[in-house]
Amino acid sequence: MTASARTSGRARPRSGTRRLPGGRAAAGLAALLALVVAFGVSRIDFGGTLRELTLPLEYENIIRQQAGDKGVEADLIAAVIYSESRFRDQTSDAGARGLMQITPATADTIETLSGGETFEYEDLADPDLNIRYGTFFLRYLLDRYEGNETAALAGYNAGIGNADAWGGAAMEASDIAFEETREYVEQVLDKRNEYADRYKRELGL
């Protein structure tokens, strides 16, 4: 056999890059690091950040102050704000304004009950005044219905006339004729427990 024939008969090197011996180990380490980073990010997202998104709390200093001043539990105030506005200043189609969604008619009632004289509707956009007025009205409703939180919340959502018609101080959730109001009351009471559990220190509970 000639030299050229022997050369042509030899196996030729395969094309492409040869895999380094440590390639698989490096890839495994990279995947492990990616999992660690992803786990760390998920801990952050599903911890404080996600909690703030799903159960926000702002103006806790005002809430604590008004809770002490009006004798209304801070977790209940926070739950009402959550259910009314998710802690965002907004105006409803009915004209309810601010964090606790106070209508002009309700604001007038609060002014009359509290003896205020300098109120302007635009002031409802102010978080401090809005929470003060909303907490004042909650206290009034709790007193009117002898501490019955279901009745007070029904009155806050659907009006005093409806709450009186549904049994007043003797009202139970099943007495509420409006499904929307019944769901509202249930949500507030449920969120109250969550706020008490997650924000005990912030709310001074």
Give the residue numbers marked as catalytic.
Answer: 84
Q: Give the residue from 130, 132, 136 showing the smallest Cα distance to 103.
A: 130
Q: Give the residue from 136, 134, 168 showing the smallest Cα distance to 151.
A: 168
Distance CA 151, CA 163 (A): 6
Q: Where are the beta strands (DSSP E) in 40-140?
A: none
Query: How is residue 9 written in tokens?
Result: 């008969």
Cβ neighbours around 96 below 10 Å, total: 19
Q: Using N-to-C axis directions, what is the helix angle for 179-198 and 74-85, rounded to 10°? A: 130
Read off the amino acid at residue 57. L
Give the burial class of 84: count Cβ atoms within 10 A of its Cβ; 0-12 exposed, 13-18 middle, 19 or more buried: buried
